[in-house]
């Protein structure tokens, strides 16, 4: 039996009919390597924006069920066109939407999670020698309601399909050439990583590297499906392979540096230090689905028994957060709320830091030497994040990238053969 | 239990978001009359043209399966937007595509016929007090392949749904105000018919009146569902009611006059008069799915035992017809083929002509008095068609419209109350 490779192409890769023909060539190239090929595609280019604009013309608050019905049409177009392009290039192909495949999700509109993928119909087509072109981003519930998977949905569709089918690899084609040690727009000397572990990729994704959605990486990790991020436009470039840490050889303590400008810091001042006040605050936020990233609680006035509670949230959640804080004021008895939107979160990530002490100290020392003040710190096993002044973010990234040996001239050339996946 | 009304709105009625809001008002108006309402919509305005153009950019010959996948996305957009518009106007509504409803068709792409419509999910939503907005034009096969119904498909969807649900009426909203005694662009004195029978409507449709697709009328006749053709933009106008002839009071022998410029005439000259030659010719055309309308066989050279066979086809089928004739030349032994594309088919239609003799003679006399030559004639129980020179088509229509008493000043004003459907 042939092995299966899943390929995923995003909206920019299928933005027009010429690009779709180009994608067809990339698919046929993979098929000609002797693999069965599943292709997952997003809607063409700006389709989602156009459809959303139509909905907003109808009503400022369209129901999420009807938004899912509306948006799911976008992939219907791209899968049909790609199947046609494959057929026109002499390759047997068939398109399938989520309902035809049976991509079963929770009954939650606009951000459903996949529960199960039926594989029988796909396998029939593969046995027929066909490339199967599948609509990303969409699913159906057990009772035939159309759902969508939210941001990064097509990546998740591809990875989940790869997992369900036991694919040997899932290739995420995108407009970048892979995962870099940091953003090459900030540090020109950034290097493409040949390999990175799921865990590191997750931390980098959460830390603001926009290559892959965390949910897709989590799903790949769960199925232990090797994931390759590669360029649609440079097919000879192998990109970056994301796989289990146990399959990797660790070279350096730090794999990558990320900066995230999407957050802001809120300080709730002089909160009465009663048991449970923090729980009241963060329960209130959680109930409204507002994700809090970093948290620090510190004595404000020890004599008055009050605390300052500082935390970071996504900038888009500010208005809702303020409403919640207003509502909780009688309970929290705080004096005032201070919003700081000039922050950046700088993170260093590396599975190699687990058994190497002193990495955090080295990070703080580096920032101190540049006179960069650290406003908050958070850590995980393989990540250290510092909140700094936004104006100094690039300086921080550059310095950390250099001090941890990631600048391109310090990276060994090729690390031998890639694993055969 | 409430009675069900099915409303169908075509592409021009939902061409933009303002028009969709307007349609929502027409739906709510019907709902407020105390009926359960099913709405069937086509794709917005030029969607089908845009999608077809994309497909042609990919390949000149897209597979019909993938074309159906592609085109079926069009109604996905319009049903979602209309459901949103209804909700925004305070009306409970839900959209459903053909797969969600279960509109089961034959496994023939691009022109499938409906085999069965499942009604359980629709009834659940109706019981919920929701207006159900259903995608027209599309269906699915038993094994979940997406099909489309071909020209007039959304009309057919609406009528078939009305039949399956035992609706009391199916309203076809369109950009004309109803069915007229003839094309008002030719005869300004044409009158809107308040009623017409299925049979007459079928003959008029086949005869070139483009209001309704014959398949939709046939389906309505089969279920005996009253059908109303009415204007989207003049909701107070009741349009034309199409119903069983036995429910109508017949006033005049002729109900309408139609002219059809879409055909051309082919004469195959000096065909050897052997048994079965006509069968060879028309089997050959039928096998290629070319519809032949009128046929005349006449002696060409009685002494040589050869016939001329003349027939009419749709102009779009000319190239394919020529290919077939070329292929059949050895068998038919004809001398040459003559194509006449300057013809018009003029038809008079009326259930009232069945028991009134002399109608045909009156038609021929009228044409003769204008010096209009009749090239071919065909008749049915309720229709007489004559092929004439295209240049004289409008003269013929005007004269027949007048002689059979259809000019507006000759039509009695209101024929009493409309039946309560």
Given B59, B74, B83, which is nearest A66 (Cβ)? B83
How many Å separate Cα A226 from the centre of its chain? 16
Q: How confident is the model at residue A310 (pLDDT cuts 50, 70, 90)?
A: very high
Question: Does residue B215 register a pLDDT over 80?
Answer: yes
Say yes or no: do domains A4-175 and A249-421 share a fold: no
Q: Do B80 and A94 touch (CB under 8 A)?
A: no
pLDDT of residue B265: 95
Q: Do B76 and A73 touch (CB under 8 A)?
A: yes
- Return the sign of the alpha-carbon dihedral for residues A148, A154, A160, A162: positive
> Which residues of chain B have a CB within 8 Å of the CB of A87?
59, 62-63, 66
Given B59, B83, B144, which is nearest A100 (Cβ)? B144
Question: Does residue A414 register a pLDDT over 70?
Answer: no
- Backbone Cα Rg of chain A: 23
Local structure of A98: helix, strand or coil: helix
- Return the sign of the alpha-carbon dihedral for residues B119, B121, B122, B128: positive
Class for the domain spanning A4-175: alpha beta
pLDDT of residue B412: 40
Q: Which of A43, A62, A76, A139 to mutate to test the interface with B (most CBs of B within 10 A)?
A: A76
pLDDT one-digit tens code per residue, A312-346: 999 999 999 999 999 999 988 899 999 999 999 99
Mean pLDDT (chain B) is 90
How many Å separate Cα B192 from the centre of its chain? 18
pLDDT one-digit tens code per residue, B81-98: 999 999 999 999 999 999
Exposed e or buried b per residue across B10-32, where buried means at least 16 C-beta atoms within 10 angstroms of its C-beta: bbbbbbebebbbbbbebbbebbe
Q: Do B69 and A54 touch (CB under 8 A)?
A: no
Give the residue numbers in B contacting A (CB under 8 Å), as ranges. Answer: 17, 20-21, 51, 54-55, 57-59, 61-63, 65-67, 69-70, 72-74, 76-77, 79-81, 83-85, 87-88, 94-95, 97, 99-100, 121, 144-146
> Which residues of chain A have a CB within 8 Å of the CB of B19?
none
pTM above 0.80, yes or no: yes
- Distance from the A48 Cα atom to the nearest Cα atom in chain B, whole angstroms: 12
Pairing of strands B256-260, B343-349: antiparallel
Domain A249-421 listed as CATH 3.30.2130.10: yes
- Distance from the B348 Cα atom to the nearest Cα atom in chain A, whole angstroms: 44
Q: How confident is the model at residue A420 (pLDDT cuts 50, 70, 90)?
A: very low
pLDDT of residue B169: 95
Given B21, B58, B74, which is nearest A88 (Cβ)? B58
Summarize the confidence of residues A287-294 as an average pLDDT: 88
Summarize the confidence of residues B320-334 as an average pLDDT: 92
> Which residues of chain B have a CB within 8 Å of the CB of A51?
77
Given A61, A80, A146, which is nearest B66 (Cβ)? A80
Q: Which of A16, A74, A77, A135 to mutate to test the interface with B (most CBs of B within 10 A)?
A: A77
Q: Do A59 and B94 touch (CB under 8 A)?
A: no
DSSP, residue by residue, B44-104: -TTHHHHHHHHHHHH-SS--HHHHHHHHHHHHHHHHHHHHHHHHHTT--EEEE-HHHHTEE
Pairing of strands A4-9, A36-41: parallel
Q: Tell me the C-alpha distance between A406 and A348, whole Å.
A: 11
Backbone dihedral angles phi then psi of residue A325, each to the nearest 5 degrees: -60, -40
> Which residues of chain A have a CB within 8 Å of the CB of B97?
69, 146
Q: Are the C-beta atoms of B343 and B266 separated by less than 8 Å?
A: no
pLDDT one-digit tens code per residue, B46-68: 999 999 999 999 999 999 999 99
Q: Are the C-beta atoms of B333 and B271 separated by less than 8 Å?
A: yes
Q: How confident is the model at residue A421 (pLDDT cuts 50, 70, 90)?
A: very low
Q: How confident is the model at residue A351 (pLDDT cuts 50, 70, 90)?
A: confident
Question: Does residue A413 register a pLDDT over 60?
Answer: no
pLDDT of residue A299: 73
Given B70, B79, B85, which is nearest A77 (Cβ)? B70
Q: Minimal Cα distance from B68: which residue of A?
A: A80
Exposed e or buried b per residue across B261-288, where buried means at least 16 C-beta atoms within 10 angstroms of its C-beta: eebbbbbbbbbebeeebbeebeebbeee
Q: Tell me the C-alpha distance between A270 and A154, whole Å.
A: 45
> Please, which contacts does A404-407 make with residues 24 or more away whose CB atoms are closer than 8 Å?
A404/A252, A404/A253, A404/A254, A404/A257, A404/A348, A404/A350, A404/A362, A405/A252, A405/A254, A406/A181, A406/A182, A406/A190, A406/A191, A406/A252, A406/A254, A406/A256, A406/A257, A407/A187, A407/A189, A407/A191
pLDDT one-digit tens code per residue, B101-127: 999 999 999 989 999 999 999 999 999
Which tokens sit at A106?
């929770």
pLDDT one-digit tens code per residue, A89-126: 999 999 999 999 999 999 999 989 999 999 999 999 99
Question: Does residue B337 register a pLDDT over 90?
Answer: yes
pLDDT one-digit tens code per residue, B191-213: 999 999 999 998 887 766 678 88
Question: Does residue A416 register a pLDDT over 90?
Answer: no
Q: Do B95 and A51 touch (CB under 8 A)?
A: no
Given A66, A81, A99, which is nearest B84 (Cβ)? A66
Residues whose CB falls within 8 Å of the CB of residue B378, separated by 6 or more in sequence, listed in order:
B293, B294, B384, B385
Given A69, A95, A144, which is nearest B80 (Cβ)? A69
Measured CA distances, A288 to A201, A264, A281, A284, B128 (Å) = 28, 18, 11, 7, 29
pLDDT of residue B211: 80
Q: Do A63 and B97 touch (CB under 8 A)?
A: no
Which tokens sit at A152?
């990064």
> Which residues of chain A have a CB within 8 Å of the CB of B72?
76
Helices (H), B140-208: 153-164, 198-206
Q: Which of A69, A96, A125, A137 to mutate to test the interface with B (most CBs of B within 10 A)?
A: A69
Q: Are the C-beta atoms of A86 and A133 separated by less than 8 Å?
A: yes
Domain coordinates in residue numbering, chain A: 4-175, 249-421
Q: How many CB atoms are located within 10 Å of the residue B415 CB?
A: 11
Backbone dihedral angles phi then psi of residue B195, each to the nearest 5 degrees: -140, 155
Q: Tell me the C-alpha distance between B61 and B75, whole Å.
A: 23
> Please, which contacts does B371-374 make with residues 24 or more away whose CB atoms are closer than 8 Å?
B372/B396
pLDDT of residue A201: 92
Summarize the confidence of residues A120-144 as an average pLDDT: 97
Exposed e or buried b per residue across A385-418, where buried means at least 16 C-beta atoms within 10 angstroms of its C-beta: bbbbbbebbbbbbbbbbebbebbeeebeeeeeee
A with B: how many residue pairs have Cβ under 8 Å apart? 113
Least confident of B41-45, B201-205, B261-265: B201-205
Question: Does residue A409 register a pLDDT over 80?
Answer: no
Mean pLDDT (chain A) is 90
Summarize the confidence of residues B394-405 as an average pLDDT: 95
Q: Tell me the C-alpha distance between A321 and A325, whole Å.
A: 6
pLDDT of residue B413: 40
- Distance from the A113 Cα atom to the nearest Cα atom in chain B, whole angstroms: 20
């Amino acid at each position: 039996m042939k092995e299966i490779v899943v390929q995923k192409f995003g909206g920019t890769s299928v933005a027009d009919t010429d690009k779709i023909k180009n994608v067809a060539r990339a698919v046929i190239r993979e098929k000609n390597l002797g693999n069965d090929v599943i292709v997952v595609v997003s809607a063409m280019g700006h389709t989602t924006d156009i459809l959303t604009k139509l909905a907003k013309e109808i009503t400022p608050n369209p129901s999420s069920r009807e938004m899912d019905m509306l948006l799911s049409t976008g992939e219907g177009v791209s899968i049909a066109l790609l199947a046609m392009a494959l057929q026109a290039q002499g390759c047997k192909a068939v398109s399938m939407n989520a309902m035809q495949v049976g991509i079963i999700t929770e009954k939650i509109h606009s951000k459903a999670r996949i529960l199960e993928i039926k594989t029988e119909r796909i396998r029939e087509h593969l046995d027929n020698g066909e490339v199967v072109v599948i609509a990303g981003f969409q699913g159906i519930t057990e009772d035939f309601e159309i759902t969508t998977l939210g941001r990064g949905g097509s990546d998740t569709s591809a990875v989940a399909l790869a997992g369900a089918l036991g694919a040997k690899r899932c290739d995420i084609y995108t407009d970048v050439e892979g995962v870099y040690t940091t953003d090459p727009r900030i540090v020109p000397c950034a290097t493409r990583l040949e390999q990175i572990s799921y865990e590191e990729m997750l931390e980098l994704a959460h830390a603001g590297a926009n290559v892959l959605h965390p949910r897709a990486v989590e799903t790949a990790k769960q199925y232990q499906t090797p994931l390759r991020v590669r360029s649609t436009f440079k097919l000879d470039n192998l990109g970056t392979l994301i796989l289990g840490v146990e399959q990797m050889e660790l070279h350096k303590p730090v794999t990558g540096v990320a900066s995230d400008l999407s957050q802001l810091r809120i300080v709730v001042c002089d909160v009465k230090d009663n048991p449970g006040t923090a729980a009241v605050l963060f329960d209130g936020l959680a109930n409204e689905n507002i994700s809090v990233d970093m948290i620090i609680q510190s004595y404000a006035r020890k004599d008055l028994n009050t605390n300052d509670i500082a935390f970071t949230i996504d900038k888009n959640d500010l208005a809702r957060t303020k409403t919640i804080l207003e509502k909780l004021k009688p309970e929290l008895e705080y004096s005032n709320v201070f919003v700081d939107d000039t922050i950046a979160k700088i993170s260093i990530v590396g599975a190699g830091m687990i058994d190497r002490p002193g990495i955090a100290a080295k990070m703080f020392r580096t920032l101190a030497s540049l006179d960069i003040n650290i406003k908050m710190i958070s850590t995980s096993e393989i990540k250290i994040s510092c909140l700094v002044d936004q104006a100094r973010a690039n300086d921080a990234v550059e310095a950390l990238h250099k001090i941890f040996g990631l600048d391109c001239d310090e990276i060994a050339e090729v690390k031998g053969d890639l694993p055969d996946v």
